[in-house]
Amino acid sequence: METATTDDAAPRAPLIGARQLVGATGGSAATTVWLAFIGLLTTPYMLHQLGAAAYGVFALIAIVSGYLSNLELGFGHALVRFVARARGMGDRAEEHRVLETSLAVFVSACAIAATVALLLAPHVVGTFADVPRALRGQALTGARLGAAILGFTLLSAYWSAALVGLGRFSIVVATRAAIGTLVSAAAVVSVALGGGLDTVLLTQLVVTSLSVCVLAAAVIATHGRWIVPRIHRATFTSMARFSGFVFVAGVAYQLMLQGPATVLAGSAGTAELATYAVPAIVLQQLTLLAVSASLGFLPLASAASASTDRSRLAAIFRSHLRLTLLVMGPIVAYLAIFGEPLLATWIDARFAAQAAGPLRFLAGAALMLALSGPAADVARGLGRPGWIVVFTVASAGLAVVLSLVLVSAHGAAGVAFALCAALAMTVLPLVVIVSRRLLSLSTVALAAGLAPVLLAGLASAALYLLGAVVSDSFAGALLSGLLVTVPYALVAYRYVLDDRERRAFRRSSRES
């Protein structure tokens, strides 16, 4: 491997602090909530205007794109880890080699993924026998546009990962908020003006290409040098060893999330897939909210891998788990209890009766995914990506097998339950193994730290349930949410968080 010259050397960059982590988490979480709110407003309109058939095709295009996005071969996580590690060691030359090598991989992945998606476009449209003949031409054009969107999305993912590794979290958060808002707004406007599925995807293509330009300019300005696609052999070899595990885990992760939907698509029509796809939007937003902390936590763990002292990382990991459960627990309980009145107001009562069951199970799946995030980041950051492969393969296998068993009798609710059950059986062992083996944090100590948070979450769930007994209408859901959530947040801050966690919040609030 090349050695850094004097000009390339730089002082060791400080490790990401708790305040930066809290700030990155808060900003990313706020953006996720904002985009979820926009999705809540626009999804019913898009579903009704496009129709169930077109929306089902749209969902299948997203599923195919999710699988093909893994053609970056795990270099997204590798890019974050190796750039953060190089900056932590002050090695500017290696930082540059990592950026160039990763860009070469991503450019190749863009070309291959877009080509494969383009070739698969006729098959995607032909999957559903109940797609009207008049819609097939528009759907085929949309599937081809989806191939181009996939290419730009992969490039956008490269520049975003580079910024995260470089510690520029605020740019990633701001760009994501702006682009996400533009995508939703452009889709609504295009449909309102009489456009169909193809027009919606065309607007997504334009906005995604814009995001690539903005993010690329930010990375170049931060890094201070132009970046060209170039393979540096020694750097590539080191990254490939790590990314190979990440790639397998990424494929398994997509199979875990999309496998049940794929089983459903092969056994049901577009309307049944839409019944699953709309609650899956809620799962996606909850998952994005849960992984918001990973914006700063993965580079923190990566930089910490250069040190043998893991006590600081163990303390942050424990707090990460506590805060994840503290935030996600009540949200999941609220959706499970008030899912049907919320869906009835959001879409309509008939749709809500069919989708409430899948929503409950997918909300539970989101909680399990949220709890797996901190452990997965520690394992990747400390150079144990193989552990995540075992976890995701086991979860995906269980999810698909259970889906095949349950789909014929229970449809969308059955495959949603399959995903939730598979994650419930695999997440807890992952958390315990990572805490014990990598952080020397005993199971008893971990459980003691989580117990107050779990009790607070159960108390909020009991109060939501009491509110549903009093009134299970939409108004009752809103009133229960207000009367329970605000006191819960105040009590949790005062009595559940420890002193160190409260100090980190206060300092982050003063600096933001």
What's the whole-number mean pLDDT along residues 345-361? 84
**316 or 99, which is more confident?**
99
pLDDT at 353 over 70: yes
Residue 93 lies in a domain: yes
Q: What is the pLDDT of residues 76-92, one digit of tens each?
A: 888 888 888 887 777 88
pLDDT average, residue stretch 384-406:
90
Q: Tell me the two tokens of residue 475.
A: 């108004």
pLDDT at 351: 81
Per-residue pLDDT reduced to its tens digit, 200-240: 888 888 888 888 998 999 999 888 889 999 999 888 998 88
Query: Tell me: the pLDDT tens digits for 110-150?
Result: 888 888 888 877 776 665 545 566 667 777 777 788 888 88
Beta strands in 251-339 (DSSP E): none
Q: Examine the pLDDT at 15 and tell me if it is beyond 60.
A: no
Residue with tokens 């936590």: 297
* Inside any domain, residue 2: no
Q: Which helix (H) or strand (E) holds 186?
A: helix 169-192
pLDDT of 73 reads: 77
| Residue 448: burial class (beta carbons within 10 Å; 0-12, 13-18, 19+) | exposed
Percent of the chain with pLDDT over 70: 82
- What is the predicted pLDDT for the residue at 78? 85
Digit-coded pLDDT (tens) for 31-69: 777 777 787 777 777 777 777 667 667 766 776 776 677
What's the domain count of the chain?
1
Q: Is residue 356 part of a domain?
A: yes
Residue 185 CB partners (closer than 8 Å, separation 6+): 38
- Tell whether 345 is covered by a domain: yes
Residue range of the domain that includes 255 = 18-511
13 within some domain: no
How far CA 369 is from CA of 298, 453, 490, in Å, comes to 16, 17, 26
In a domain, 6, yes or no: no
Residue 5 inside a domain? The answer is no
Tokens of 440: 């020397």
pLDDT bin (cut points 50, 70, 90) of residue 271 is low
Give 91's strand partners: 9
Cα 258 to Cα 64, 147, 326, 390: the distances in Å are 9, 18, 27, 18
Binned at pLDDT 50, 70 and 90, residue 296 comes out as low
Q: How confident is the model at residue 466 (pLDDT cuts 50, 70, 90)?
A: very high
7 assigned to some structural domain: no
Tens digits of residue pLDDT in 424-464: 999 999 999 999 998 888 889 889 989 999 999 899 999 99
Q: CA-CA distance, 253 to 377, in Å (whole number)? A: 14
C-alpha–C-alpha distance, residues 69 and 401, integer Å? 23
Tell me: pLDDT of 26 over 70: no
Q: Distance (Å, rounded) from C-alpha 202 to C-alpha 190?
A: 9
